[in-house]
Amino acid sequence: MRLAFVSPMPPSKSGIADYSAALVDALRAFAEVTVVSSAPAEFDPSSFDALVYQIGNNPYHTFAYELALRHPGVVVLHESNLHHLLVDFTIGRGDWDGYLREVEYEGGEEALS
């Protein structure tokens, strides 16, 4: 099995990066694992049997979130709330309208009040 494992990795200051490093070592006993730890210039999902994304609630995971939107796979959510991640890839990039669209989508019109 060929597996794309998409996650921040050490030295990223994320507990999920440390967790991912340990998990990848264990997974290599069962699969051929390619680690994707930053936004790739090119990515061919057809090269893999499965795509696994580790998503947390901080800016270190923005690249993984965006890649998962383009190429669906198995998503492991490490948080029940991804608001800070949302803030990073909308407001952090000057996209206030995108932020408000997401808030309304998730919380309904009353979330904008």
Express each pLDDT in 39-97 by its tens digit. Answer: 999 999 999 999 999 999 988 999 999 999 999 999 999 988 888 888 888 899 999 99
What is the arithmetic mean of pLDDT over 25-41? 96
* CATH number for 37: 3.40.50
pLDDT given for residue 89 in this prediction: 84
Residue 97 lies in a domain: no
Residue 57 lies in a domain: yes
Q: Which long-range contacts (CB under 8 A, 24 or more apart) does 104-111 make?
A: none
Q: What is the pTM of this model?
A: 0.86
Residues near 111 by beta carbon (within 8 Å), at least 6 away in sequence = 103, 104
CA neighbor of 7 nearest in space, from 43, 59, 60, 86: 60
Residue 86 lies in a domain: no
Residue 98 lies in a domain: no
Beta strands 2-6 and 74-77 are: unpaired
Residue 55 lies in a domain: yes
pLDDT given for residue 84 in this prediction: 86
Q: Are 23 and 17 in contact (CB under 8 A)?
A: no
Residue 46 lies in a domain: yes
* Domain assignment of residue 68, given as a range: 2-80
